[in-house]
Amino acid sequence: MAAMAAVTAFLVADGGADGPRPLTTDEANRLAITRFRNYQAQGRAMTITVPGTASGLTVTGSVDYRRKVGYGVVHGTGRDKSSDGLIQWTPTSVRVRPMTDAPAHAPASPPRSGWYDRPLLSSGSALDTSLSIALGLGGDRPDNAELLPQNGAAWWGREQVDGRRVDVMTGPSSPDRSGTAGNVRYWIGSDGTMYRVRVSVDSQPEPVVIDFDTHAYVPVEPVPGTTPAR
């Protein structure tokens, strides 16, 4: 898939991919704190690979997990460049600034003009779904490590992401949908740091893939005239 090839961080199998099996206590503890690690870090740099039936998108940018706001640059894969430009988003809104020649990385300070506002769609948009997923990967407290295995979380193997040895784990069923265990897969380091997330989306043939630390983190500045949610 071309969109996957565009993701900076690549994965090399490192053996041990003999899951699934139940999580050990250590693995459950690391899965429980992985979203909290993002919150503790304030923000993370990432590349989001957005699936599409014909061609996909990549969003290269940063998310501030304390203030719940993301900012970056969108590039279409293949020949479709109609969505190229800058983007900033919160849990409820999206601001886009179309650009015919979008840079590889968004400028640290957003331009003062040329932005268009719209609500963040809860369904029907692979891009908005991906943006919402990215914002949701931080939490102000750890999850309950004892409940994760009971709700279907599992260990799947060990791999490497950009030279880092990680464990691959699947998350539990979502609170509002039973039977969804395995829809989210995490690549987690020995200290609980999240390095990759892959999420299956019902309406898309390929998953959303989020790779962390693909470039230097730049603190997110609000678009002039906006106040991010706190």
Domains of the chain, by residue range, sit at: 2-212
**Closest C-alpha to 56, from 7, 107, 2:** 2
| pTM (predicted TM-score) | 0.87
CATH of 2-212, one of 3.30.70, 2.60.40, 1.10.1060, 2.50.20: 2.50.20
Instruction: Give the model's pLDDT for residue 82.
Output: 78
> Could you tell me which residue, 116 or 201, shows the higher pLDDT?
116
Predicted confidence (pLDDT) at residue 192 exceeds the cutoff of 50: yes
pLDDT per position as a tens digit, 75-98: 997 666 778 999 999 999 999 999
Kindly provide the residue ranges of all beta strands, DSSP E only, lying in the chain, ordered along the sequence.
Answer: 11-13, 21-22, 43-50, 57-64, 69-76, 85-89, 93-98, 116-119, 154-161, 164-170, 184-188, 194-199, 208-212
Q: Is 186 exposed, middle or buried (0-12, 13-18, 19+ CB in 10 A)?
A: buried
Two tokens, residue 87 = 């983007």
